[in-house]
């Protein structure tokens, strides 16, 4: 028995489920990784960590109320989108007291969206889609109904924001010095949690390595690759420097190279390809979404993941596996 499983077994069931939900943010279905990830949130900002906790509890509770499969709830599958949704609203909306109510409602809605996507006949993996869709809805709608939630600034200047590519600030002409690579890697990883922090990025890599060293290498390598490709594409200097073109690439690399495809040499190659495609797609999506007041979030990762699963024919494999899991639940 792995050491982290022994620790999990000693935890109360409710706490274990919540921590596993936080761990599933980066496909780590164990409480130890989830705890490390919570520490990573709090290392940046305690209130951000609290938003993550409130989101995880709310989405998991909603899944229980709506009587979702107990096996899915226990595995934390209804916790990670709520975790990210809580942090997303805390990041992109003003910090009025009522924001906590919106976080709870949005996190609960993410569980509903997760269940709905899983019922789609194609059997696509929801991944972070509920977080993206729910966050977009609330970022657009909440300030309309409650002006006190309007952050009062353009998303392009938010921290973390999402800069629209600007070749005048590009670093491609000078190249990316190797000494800057660790920064791009670590901050690219930290932006999965919507934060710009060395400590957070390092803790995330440690939390993933608890489950799999290969996963941690894919995550870090994908984040670095995405940032370097963004530099070659003349993306905004500031956005690259704080990791905004690394996190989608890192998520795509670990999803393709470890989670949804068989972890072998072929999937490793596809993981590299996925990490190269995501920054290009992110640049295109940013031109559409940012001007209307929406952050890109994990949309590039989702698009690349679904496309690769479809092109490689693994969509049917996932659908078959999903059908068996629902039948046995």
CA–CA separation, 298 and 275 (whole Å): 13
The 3-state DSSP class for residue 161 equals: coil
Residue 86 is predicted with a pLDDT of 97
Task: Check residue 171 and report its DSSP letter.
Answer: S
The HSE-up count of residue 308 (CA atoms within 13 Å, CB side) is: 28
CA–CA separation, 138 and 141 (whole Å): 5
| The dihedral sign for the CA sequence 240, 167, 304, 138 | positive
pLDDT tens string 99-111: 999 999 999 999 9
Task: Check residue 255 and report its DSSP letter.
Answer: I
CATH 1.10.3430.10 residue spans of the chain: 15-146
46 pLDDT exceeds 50? yes
301 pLDDT exceeds 80? yes
Task: Check residue 259 and report its DSSP letter.
Answer: I
CA–CA separation, 63 and 72 (whole Å): 9
More confident residue, 172 or 131: 131
- Segment 60-75 shows an average pLDDT of 93
Confirm if 271 and 315 have CB atoms less than 8 A apart.
no
Query: Which run of H or of E encompasses 304?
Result: helix 299-311
* Domain spanning 15-146, CATH class: mainly alpha
Looking at every residue in the chain, the average pLDDT score rounds to 87
329 pLDDT exceeds 50? no
Structure-token match 């269940």, residue found:
115
Share of the chain above pLDDT 70, in %: 86
């Amino acid at each position: 028995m792995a050491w982290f499983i022994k620790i999990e077994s000693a935890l109360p069931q409710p706490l274990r489920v919540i921590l596993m939900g936080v761990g599933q943010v980066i496909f780590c279905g164990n409480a130890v990784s989830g705890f490390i990830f919570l520490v990573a949130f709090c290392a940046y900002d305690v209130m951000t960590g609290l938003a993550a906790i409130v989101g995880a509890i709310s989405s998991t509770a909603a899944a229980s109320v709506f009587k979702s499969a107990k096996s899915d709830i226990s595995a934390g599958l209804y916790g990670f989108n709520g975790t990210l949704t809580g942090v997303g609203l805390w990041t992109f909306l003003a910090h009025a007291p009522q924001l906590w109510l919106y976080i709870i409602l949005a996190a609960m809605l993410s569980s509903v969206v997760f269940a709905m996507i899983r019922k789609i006949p194609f059997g696509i993996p929801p991944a972070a889609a509920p977080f993206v869709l729910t966050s977009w809805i609330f970022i657009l709608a909440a300030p309309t109904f409650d002006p006190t939630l309007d952050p009062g600034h353009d998303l392009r200047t938010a921290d973390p924001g999402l800069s629209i590519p600007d070749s005048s600030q590009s670093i491609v002409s000078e190249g990316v010095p190797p000494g800057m690579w660790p920064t791009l890697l670590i901050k690219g990883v930290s932006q999965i949690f919507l934060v710009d922090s060395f400590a957070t990025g390092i803790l995330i890599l440690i939390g993933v390595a608890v489950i799999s060293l290969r996963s941690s290498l894919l995550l870090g390598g994908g984040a670095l690759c995405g940032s370097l490709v963004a530099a070659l594409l003349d993306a905004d200097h500031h956005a690259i420097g704080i990791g905004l073109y690394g996190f989608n690439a890192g998520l795509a690399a670990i999803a393709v190279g470890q989670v949804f495809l068989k972890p072998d040499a072929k999937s490793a190659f596809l993981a590299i390809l996925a990490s190269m495609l995501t920054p290009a797609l992110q640049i295109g999506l940013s031109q559409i979404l940012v001007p209307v007041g929406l952050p890109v979030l994990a949309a590039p990762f989702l698009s690349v993941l679904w496309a690769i699963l479809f092109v490689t024919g693994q969509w049917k494999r996932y659908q078959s596996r999903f059908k068996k899991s629902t039948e046995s639940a």
